[in-house]
Amino acid sequence: MAKKTVDDIQVKGKRVLVRCDFNVPMKDGKITNDKRIVAALPTIKKLIADGGKVILCSHLGKPKNGPEEKFSLAPVAVRLSELLGQNVVFANDDNVVGENAKAAVAAMKDGDVVLLQNTRFRAEETKNGEAFSKDLATLADAYVDDAFGSCHRAHCSTAGVTAYTSPNVAGYLIGKELSIMGKALENADRPFVAVLGGAKIEDKLNVINNLLEKVDTLIIGGGMAFTFLKAKGYEVGKSLLDESKIDYCKDMMAKAAEKGVKLLLPIDTVCAAGFPDPIDGPVDVCVVDSDKIPADVEGLDIGPKTRELFAEAVKTAKTVVWNGPMGVFENPTLAQGTLAVAQAMADSDAVTIIGGGDSAAAVEQMGLGAKMTHISTGGGASLEFLEGKTLPGVACLDEK
């Protein structure tokens, strides 16, 4: 079902609590990358323009025992004020909804913006404690969730609060995630190709299983491919291998055959004597066929023939979803596989969706982000979405 968004509600004169993702990287109290703050601007500006009283909240980092100065959202308030061209009042309460917050909200005029302190300064935030959910709700006449990266977690500020607020709607970021990723999974333009990579097969078990129900072609690269190669009876040398998942891989290959899904695995592999140390340091490599990996080497990227094979499959697609790099993309010598997939997607006319996390980082690093239809803002959340799971921070929003 489609969820209501900020376009479906009237906010003039109302206090609107907006859950944003301001979990930005910080160094020595300075924001080193403000991309997440910039991404939140369209929703915030819309609510300001409509005359809402905009109360923003977010977590930052993982404070262990309550408030920690280094996790304060104060620098975010400063940056937001600059980006919006208007003052953002920072309500600095250790208990998040304290005297400062209450006074700041009481003094608001239509179009004003207040930022609350880090929601994780309250220990019960991550436990979805009722008292904190109720406290947050006392500040709000309406609730907007725009933090896709946190909506796979049932926390006070992402789910609990909605039991005491109404209406509860999606911001533009979550709205876009739901419409683009939702369409891909439920009603994709075909051929539909999914590319999965990354190190651990463990993380992608349910994703593989769910995508085999939906796609025409499933491409598997990265460290997780070696367990599949082993399941085919090949030697994988010192490559990453999850012995406990060999039978699972056999089952998935059988399922693909039964569903008529093309399952593509690497046909050649870039190997080295060991993992590069440092990760981006020089490394001597050799290229071997994937069924002939020598016992004393480790596979660290897909080879040139595989790059071509995978790129061809991507080029024929109308919809492509990609989650997880093809190799150790942090190393220039071992980034070629990941770059080949990113380039094929960038050159394609298909709907191209990057499922967060390392793939998003790789695409940005390679300067190809602007060529993609959609780059998901949530790593864990987009994985659970691809698994077909219900996300608590989405389930609690009002249906259209």
| Cα–Cα distance for residue pair 329/332, rounded to 1 Å | 7
Q: For strand 15-19 and strand 142-145, is the pairing parallel, antiparallel, or unpaired?
A: parallel
Considering 3, 15, 19, 36, which one is annotated as catalytic?
36
Length of the chain: 400
Cα distances (angstroms) measured from residue 203 to each of 206, 217, 380: 8, 20, 10
Angle separating helix axes 379-386 and 357-365, nearest 10 degrees: 120
**Which residue bears the tokens 């056999």?**
250
CB 100 within 8 A of CB 91: yes
Element housing 15 (H / E): strand 15-19
Order the strands of the 217-220 sheet from edge to edge.
262-264, 217-220, 192-196, 319-323, 351-354, 374-375
Tell me if residue 79 is catalytic.
no
User: Among 294, 324, 290, which Cα is nearest to 309's?
Assistant: 290
Rounded Cα distance between 195 and 214, Å, is: 13
Residue 200 among the catalytic residues: yes
Structural tokens at position 56: 């923003």
Catalytically annotated residue among 61, 129, 369, 380: 380
**Three-state secondary structure call for residue 88:** strand
Q: Is 357 a catalytic residue?
A: yes
Question: What distances in angstroms separate CA 95 from CA 56, 145, 316, 372, 380, one per listed residue?
Answer: 15, 21, 54, 41, 27
Q: What string of DSSP letters covers 273-298?
A: SS--SSTTS----EEEETT---TT-E
* From 299, 357, 379, 393, the catalytic residue: 357
Q: Which of the residues 4, 45, 183, 200 is marked catalytic?
A: 200
d(CA 16, CA 145): 10
Is residue 36 annotated as a catalytic residue, yes or no?
Answer: yes
- Just list the catalytic residues: 36, 200, 357, 380
